């Protein structure tokens, strides 16, 4: 039997589980693992500037391509605690990532050794499993189980903590005989699918709500096929955006209090039945449940059995992997169609598209300083259907979701439930690493951008090009808007007069200088007609220099973005709405007045 260090065995398992890239920051307690990584030579490593950044890079890497599992690596103590935010973000959105940390020697774990912290206990609430391996011989089994858990059921992250002496201990391990464990997924039965379709057949105005679980299961094509067979309009959730193209005749728009379309909310409120697949009825999607559920029936399909009935009790629930369920949905629908038993939904589907053509928000403003809506309008012109958008939270993300267009699954990569500021830059780097051939465009407000700004240097060092659109109003805009209800405007102002850049006025941080200092390119835009040329120039610079390129748009200080605090029937539309086609020239459908 071959002998090798436990660290080398772990690296050999990573290779055989399909890992090609890792993100991390070395340190004393994880150096034996890094030595094994170097000796193997088959796994590329990207050196982050912050360990939290490495965890978000791993998330972006996973989210970009079906089957990917991002790996992030750090030393003992603060490296693990820094990565907790990434683990929380991953488990909240059902994203499998593997976090590997170094640890003090086993004999020192109870002696307050330098950087010895019980990271497994800290990480347990935000992982599917978190283990400090105390016996070197257990390392292969722990890693094998980690990949099994990450892929099985509802996907999610795992943390493995390796004491330095465990890493260095030689064990018996034969990589050539290693095999991954079978992945467990619950499967719907034929009877369950037939009952669910029975609800669909009895309804007059059905909708499908398609969530991120459909994308995780790589089942988007099946969902579109089922929708087309039955003529059922589809509401993608924020995490499911791109399952079917925005311009598809069955795309009924997004629903919610924030990242929603006027027509999406109107379509949901007109429905009488909703089939939810791979979604979790997130509160910012549903709003007031009494409004959301009134006068309509629900069937819910989810890979996690305990998710069924968690938010509200559906009329029927099915515990199933989305792909397995949709294969049966398609099979039964084809049989019903062949037998002439599928009702004609064309009038209902057409009515959803009529709302799409009439209920629009205005994007075309010529104001200086610029309104953010104009930025998204010009982004729609500059960035085509192949673009992958990456963003996290804030007014920039909410407005972007309301006004941008997405045409393919995994082309809107958004940290949904956790929403940590600073996520966007490292996640975009992870996405661009996973798929360097597809254009990546990140979107940030100024505060999200400043949280993990140092990670741009990773893009410069490792030649990872992408375009980053930075909308700058020198405000914590979403928090300022939320404070209106308390009649305060407190500790949300970021403006100051920068003594080194007086031309900025009160906009404070000179992002162009900082970005250039980190080895990247930057363009500042102050007028709306400069936006499109700047985006085109940014694409050229990214291609030429192979680094991140930032386009900073200087906005008006205060803009209130459409959103509600109660039900989806009570969204505050702060700005003038579109009343003629020129008000929303890049809308999916030309406005009907």
Rounded to an integer, the average pLDDT of 269-297 is 97
Higher pLDDT, 443 or 476: 443
- Euclidean distance between CA atoms 317 and 301, whole angstroms: 6
- 577 classed as catalytic: no
Of the candidates 126, 215, 431, 476, the residue annotated as catalytic is 476
The tens digit of pLDDT for each residue in 378-410 reads: 999 999 999 999 999 889 999 999 999 999 999
- 208 classed as catalytic: no
Of the candidates 119, 421, 425, 549, the residue annotated as catalytic is 421
Of the candidates 25, 375, 464, 571, the residue annotated as catalytic is 25
pLDDT at 11: 98
Percent of the chain at pLDDT > 90 equals: 92
| Sequential DSSP letters for 225-289 | HHHHHHT--EEE-TTTTTSS-TTSTTB----SSSS--HHHHHHHHH-SEEEEES----HHHHBSH
- 421 classed as catalytic: yes
- 479 classed as catalytic: yes
The tens digit of pLDDT for each residue in 333-382 reads: 999 999 999 999 999 999 999 999 999 999 999 999 999 999 999 999 99
pLDDT at 310: 96
Higher pLDDT, 109 or 317: 317
pLDDT band at 12 (very low <50, low <70, confident <90, very high): very high
Residue 98 above 90 pLDDT? yes
Percent of the chain at pLDDT > 70 equals: 100
CA angle 355, 532, 399 (to 5 degrees): 40
- 291 classed as catalytic: no
- Euclidean distance between CA atoms 234 and 226, whole angstroms: 10
The tens digit of pLDDT for each residue in 180-204 reads: 999 999 999 999 999 999 999 999 9
- Euclidean distance between CA atoms 436 and 408, whole angstroms: 17
The tens digit of pLDDT for each residue in 228-259 reads: 999 999 999 999 999 999 999 999 999 999 99
- Euclidean distance between CA atoms 470 and 357, whole angstroms: 30
- Euclidean distance between CA atoms 238 and 243, whole angstroms: 10
The tens digit of pLDDT for each residue in 514-570 reads: 999 999 999 999 999 999 999 999 999 999 999 999 999 999 999 999 999 899 999
Of the candidates 479, 512, 514, 577, the residue annotated as catalytic is 479
The tens digit of pLDDT for each residue in 55-88 reads: 999 999 999 999 999 999 999 999 999 999 999 9
Residue written as token pair 């079978």: 182
Of the candidates 51, 119, 326, 406, the residue annotated as catalytic is 51
pLDDT band at 1 (very low <50, low <70, confident <90, very high): low
């Amino acid at each position: 039997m071959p002998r090798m260090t436990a660290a080398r065995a772990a690296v050999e398992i990573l290779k055989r589980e399909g890992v090609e890239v890792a993100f991390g920051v070395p340190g004393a307690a994880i150096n034996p693992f890094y030595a094994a990584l170097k000796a193997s030579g088959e796994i590329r490593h990207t050196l982050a500037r912050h360990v939290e950044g490495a965890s978000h890079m791993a998330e972006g890497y996973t989210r970009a391509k079906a089957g990917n599992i991002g790996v992030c690596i750090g030393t003992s103590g603060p490296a693990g605690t820094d990565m907790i935010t990434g683990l929380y973000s991953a488990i909240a959105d059902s994203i499998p990532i593997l976090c590997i940390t170094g640890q003090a020697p086993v004999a020192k774990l109870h002696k307050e050794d330098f950087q010895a912290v019980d990271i497994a206990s800290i990480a347990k609430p935000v992982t599917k499993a978190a283990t400090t391996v105390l016996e070197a011989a257990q390392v292969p089994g722990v890693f094998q189980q980690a990949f099994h858990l990450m892929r099985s059921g509802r996907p999610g992250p795992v943390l493995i903590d390796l004491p330095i002496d465990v890493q260095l201990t030689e064990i018996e391990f034969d990589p050539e005989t290693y095999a991954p464990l079978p992945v467990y997924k619950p499967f719907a039965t034929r009877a369950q699918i037939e009952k669910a379709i029975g609800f669909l057949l009895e309804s007059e105005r059905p909708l499908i709500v398609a969530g991120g679980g459909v994308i995780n299961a790589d089942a988007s094509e099946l969902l579109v096929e089922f929708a087309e067979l039955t003529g059922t309009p589809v509401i993608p959730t924020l995490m499911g955006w791109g399952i079917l193209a925005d311009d598809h005749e069955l795309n009924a728009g997004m629903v919610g209090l924030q990242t929603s379309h006027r027509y999406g909310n109107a379509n949901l409120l007109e429905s009488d039945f909703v089939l939810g697949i791979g979604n979790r009825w997130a509160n910012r999607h549903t709003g007031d449940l009494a409004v959301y559920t009134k006068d309509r029936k629900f069937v819910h399909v989810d890979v996690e059995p305990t998710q069924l009935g968690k938010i509200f009790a559906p009329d029927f629930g099915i515990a199933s992997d989305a792909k397995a369920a949709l294969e049966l949905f398609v099979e039964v629908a084809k049989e019903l169609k062949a037998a002439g038993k599928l009702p004609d939904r064309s009038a209902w589907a057409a009515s959803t598209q009529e709302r799409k053509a009439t209920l629009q928000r205005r994007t075309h403003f010529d104001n200086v300083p610029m309104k953010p809506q104009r930025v998204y309008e010009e982004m729609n012109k500059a960035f085509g259907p192949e673009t992958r958008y990456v963003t996290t939270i804030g007014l920039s993300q909410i407005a972007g979701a309301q006004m941008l267009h997405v045409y393919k699954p995994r082309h809107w990569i958004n940290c949904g439930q956790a929403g940590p500021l600073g996520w966007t830059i490292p996640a975009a780097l992870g996405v661009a690493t996973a798929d360097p051939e597809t254009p990546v465009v990140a979107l940030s407000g100024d505060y999200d951008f400043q949280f993990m700004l140092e990670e741009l240097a990773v893009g410069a060092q490792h030649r990872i090009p992408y375009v980053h659109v930075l909308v700058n109003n020198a405000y914590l805009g979403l928090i300022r808007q939320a404070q209106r209800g308390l009649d305060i405007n407190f500790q949300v102002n970021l403006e100051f007069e920068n003594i080194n850049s007086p031309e900025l006025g009160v906009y404070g941080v000179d992002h162009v200088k900082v970005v250039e200092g980190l080895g990247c390119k930057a363009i500042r835009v102050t007028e709306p007609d400069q936006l499109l040329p700047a985006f085109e120039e940014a694409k050229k610079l990214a291609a030429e220099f192979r680094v991140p390129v930032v386009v900073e748009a200087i906005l008006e200080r205060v803009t209130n973005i459409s959103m509600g605090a109660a039900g989806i029937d009570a969204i505050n539309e702060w700005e003038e709405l579109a009343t003629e086609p020129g008000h929303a020239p890049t809308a999916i459908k030309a406005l009907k007045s």
